[in-house]
Amino acid sequence: MANLKFLFSFIILFLLIRTSLGGKQSTADVNVIRVGVVLDLNSTVGEMAESYISMAVSDFYAVNANYQTRLTLFTRDSKDDVVGAACAAQDLMKNEKVHAIIGPQRSAQVKFVANLGEKAQVPILSFSATSPFLSPNHNPFFIQTTQDDSGQVKAITALVHAYGWQEIIPIYEDTNYGNGLILYLKDAFQEIDVRFPYRSLIHPSSKDSDILKELKKLKAMQSRIFLVHMTTSLGSKLFVLVKNLGMMREGYAWIITQGLSSLLDPIDSKIMDSMQGVLGIRPYLPISKNVEDFERRWTKSFTSSRKANLFGFRAYDTIWALAMAVEKANIKQNSSFLKQNVSESKVDLAAIGVSEMGPKLLNTIRSTEFKGLGGYFRLVKGQLEASAFEIFNVRGKTEMIIGYWNPKTEQLSREAHDNNTTKIDAHSISKEILQQPIWPGDTTNQPKKLRIGVPSSFGFNEFLKIEWHPDHNDKPKISGFSIDLFLAVLDILPFPLPHEFVPYVNQNRQSAGTYDELLYQIKLKKFDAVIGDTTIVANRSSYVDFTLPYSESGVSMVVSMKDNEKKNMWIFLKPLSWDLWLAIGAVSIFIGLVTWVLEHRVNTKFRGPPDQQIGTIFLFSFATLTSSHWEKVVNNWSRFMLIIWAFMVLILTQSYTASLTSMLTVQQLKPEFVEVTVINRNGYFVGYHEDSFVRELLIKQLNINESKLKPYRTPEEYHEALSKGSHDGGVAAIFDEIPYIRLFLSKYGSRYAMVGPIYKTDGFGFAFPLKSPLVSYISRAILNVTQDKDKMTTIMRKYFASQTTCVDGSSAEISSYSPSLGVYSFGGLFIIVGVASMCSLLIYVAKFLHFHWPASNIIPIEGSFWLRFIELVKHFDQKDLCSCPFRRNESKLNPTISSSEGFGASPSIESIDDEEKHSRTSSEGADNVAIDENEEVFSPRHGDTSIDVASLL
């Protein structure tokens, strides 16, 4: 029995020993892989990373106890120095024969250590160096087990665009780490029209006094939106000074990048208090059971109240990735790890060997994938695959998550895994997608509000009106056409634009200056913009940028209308202009002269003594205008010409009658004057809109004496001044911009008119600082609003509906005033009459010369041309006895000749010869004379064959 108990105890002890030995691998069977770690052990990140790395090794082999490899870590302190990091890495590679190095922390340190790793073919894995300049593409043996800073650029850009900020001042440390991100941000911001008005560089070694000096400079600037990109040590110091300087109050906004936001938990509570209201961006870390379990164990193991953070998880996952790769690559402990370079150089850097297993281990690490504490671990071209970013708001001692940015959709969302690819209107992002943040100053009012200057205009309230209420002393009610139009523009902007209107007034609530002085406040950074009835002119564009105009452009003149035509004793001359009266008189005389030429040889009414003939010409000329002449014409060419002239006289008479009737029966208004030169010539006083640029235009461009200028502000003052006139204490004209003039004429249009030339301006516009990116957005929005007929009609009716019904034709523009009919109106008729008269005259003269030129040959050859001309004139002055009127006359005076012919008596030879001779010399007019044997030439009572012009008229 005792033997059985002993045997049983022996069996149990054997099984226990075997079980114990079976649970562990023999130390001799494990391949120990030497791995170097380079950290800044005195820094927050370095201290924390060391503990994370230690736990990662323990956790990995607790889970993978059957692995044939074990990582042995050799830690070195870089002492926060580039040279120290390089020396540590060199020592690890040369003396410790490490297969890989984790670290160092900072980008500047990694840059040099990565070159050493490439030389020795030892993989360098960094979990905290995020500079975009450290791309694995440039160094194949460098692996970034974290995202570089360029990965957060799109998330930052989306956040800035969501809140509609157009200017941001970056504050970053003057290192490779700081400079790397800013270059990427600049390019990204240009795509959304966001600019850097100033860049603030702070060196990591800067003293508090140096930082304060820089912050005071930033405080004096107009911008209130800041982006901070720096490490924890410098960022912590910065925000304490920011709060002490009063830059953590309402109106400011602060954004921090992942380099600082990933380490908020380890930051001291005093520093957290100075960062209230800050927005931060950092990679999204999905919360899982493993993460919660790790945080619980880490807190217990290290007795720390700090929460786990991004860089700790990255360091943890880096150890796991390296341990997996070492096992997968089957690295042997006894394998020849390093072989010396052929070079015999005695320099330490040149004496570093080359790892035989380095390339294999590198490729294995690059292909390793697993689900780690920091999310899914996958390397893309030697760099950790991009993940989502979370946007948080510092509130108290916690960070409240207000939204996410998804790299797949490149959009902001409230859910981390929102894969909706539908494009969202950027205008609604901040209001509907992101949760409401608490801004610095413990307010929900979004910074930055644009301080918009508003001119204090008490004249034309339809455009802009400021009302001060006793209950709200500091916040007046501001309204008007310009304000409503601006608000309509804001409604269609692709982003929100917080703003506040600030009247440009003094302590007495009176205007603090002219429009030019108001606009100059933008350059002085007192205002961010000026909204109102501000005119776009060249000299102002030197210190502000204007949007596209939203109103009519130009400056013109308003004068009084007068109505005294009915009291004018010479009003009967007004229907026709002086040049037309003179033209009618000249043509009438010409018609009379041509008629005399055509009728002189065949019509006794156009013959007689010279004085009688001259009287006949003038009497006939003007008698045709009144249809009261008694002379009758017998020449067909005269009849043709007078018919056309009678038609023209008819038109002139009817036009004259209509115009004169209008003048006598309808109220006739005309401007006092229409030319600007009349002002200087007569020394008139001139009015203008007070505080506007029109005053300079009158003095410099129109050369009006400054002593003759009087400022006015309201339409009522305009009316009173124009009513008095220049000689009774008023003015003769008012110069102002066309929108004001139209508003004035809508009230008093029947008494005044806009006359003279229009002096070009570009109309009303909104003003912003030079090179402001808002100008392009506002200008495009103005086009959309002004081209929207329904929207513009609604705004116009709100302020101008009561006046538009008063506008009539008398208030229209008058560039020149000419109520009389002119020559040009009847130019065509004058041409027709002139052509008809000249044709009749030329044909008659041609026939006359044809018949009578041979008769002048009786003059000796040696006779002069003048003698021949005199002979022709004598022939012209003779009666044309062969013409029908004179032949009939002769037959009535000599009836015996007719009787003898009737009885067959033959005429004498002499009479036949005389008749043939006279026929040869005078028959040129016979064809043009009417024949009527029943009428008598000399007596109108017997019915002459000539035409009565009066009957035509």
pLDDT digits (tens, 9 = 90+) for 811-861: 444 444 446 788 888 888 888 888 888 888 888 888 877 777 655 555 555
Q: Which amino acid is at 250?
A: E
Q: Which amino acid is at 561?
A: M
Average pLDDT of each block of 10 consecutive residues along the chain (953 residues)? 47 44 51 91 84 91 91 91 90 88 88 89 90 82 88 90 87 87 88 86 91 90 88 88 91 89 67 90 85 80 64 91 91 58 50 80 92 89 88 89 88 76 46 82 84 84 83 76 92 83 87 89 90 90 92 88 67 82 85 80 74 73 63 77 83 84 69 84 90 87 90 89 88 90 83 86 90 88 91 87 44 49 84 87 81 61 64 70 59 46 38 42 45 39 42 42
Tell me which residue has tokens 């029209």.
Answer: 193
Cα–Cα dist 221/197, whole Å: 9
Task: Pinpoint the alpha helices (H) of 608-764.
Answer: 610-626, 636-665, 677-682, 694-696, 715-724, 738-748
Cα–Cα dist 54/918, whole Å: 150
C-alpha distances in Å from residue 693, one per residue of 461, 519, 530, 739 = 19, 12, 16, 15
DSSP 435: P
For residue 439, give the nearest of 279, 243, 277 by alpha carbon: 277
DSSP 933: T
Tell me which residue has tokens 């503990």.
Answer: 51
DSSP 281: E
Residue 180 has which token pair? 């790397």
Residue 388 has which token pair? 């989502």
Query: In this predicted structure, what is the pLDDT of residue 766?
Result: 95
Cα–Cα dist 766/745, whole Å: 25
The sign one gets for the Cα dihedral 841, 844, 850, 855 is negative
Measured in degrees and rounded to the nearest 5, phi and psi for residue 560 equal -75, 155
- Residue 528's contacts (CB-CB under 8 Å, 6 or more residues apart) are 222, 450, 451, 452, 522, 768, 769
627: left (phi over 0), alpha (psi -120 to 50) or beta: left
Residue 330 has which token pair? 């089957």
Query: In this predicted structure, what is the pLDDT of residue 20?
Result: 43
DSSP 699: I
Q: In terms of C-beta density within 10 A (0-12 exposed, 13-18 middle, 19 or more buried), how is residue 628 classed?
A: exposed
Total-model pTM: 0.60
DSSP 572: G
C-alpha distances in Å from residue 582, one per residue of 58, 526, 587, 591 = 120, 67, 9, 14
Query: In this predicted structure, what is the pLDDT of residue 403?
Result: 92
- Helix, strand, coil percent content, the chain, rounded in steps of 5: 50, 15, 35
Start-to-end CA distance of the chain, whole Å, equals 169
Are 97 and 72 within 8 A, CB to CB? no
Q: Which amino acid is at 887?
A: R
Residue 281 burial (CB count, 10 A): 22
- Residue 564's contacts (CB-CB under 8 Å, 6 or more residues apart) are none
Cα–Cα dist 111/130, whole Å: 11
Cα–Cα dist 853/203, whole Å: 116
Cα–Cα dist 791/784, whole Å: 10
Are 115 and 121 within 8 A, CB to CB? no
Cα–Cα dist 812/753, whole Å: 6
Measured in degrees and rounded to the nearest 5, phi and psi for residue 279 equal -95, 140
Element (H, E) at 273: helix 269-273
306: left (phi over 0), alpha (psi -120 to 50) or beta: beta
- Coil, strand, or helix at residue 935? coil
Are 255 and 227 within 8 A, CB to CB? yes
C-alpha distances in Å from residue 442, one per residue of 253, 269, 276, 545, 699 = 12, 18, 8, 34, 54
For residue 486, give the nearest of 777, 192, 163 by alpha carbon: 777
Residue 349 burial (CB count, 10 A): 12
Element (H, E) at 82: helix 82-94
Secondary structure tally for the chain: helices H, strands E = 30, 32
Nearest-10 crossing angle of helices 481-491, 789-804: 170
- Coil, strand, or helix at residue 635? strand
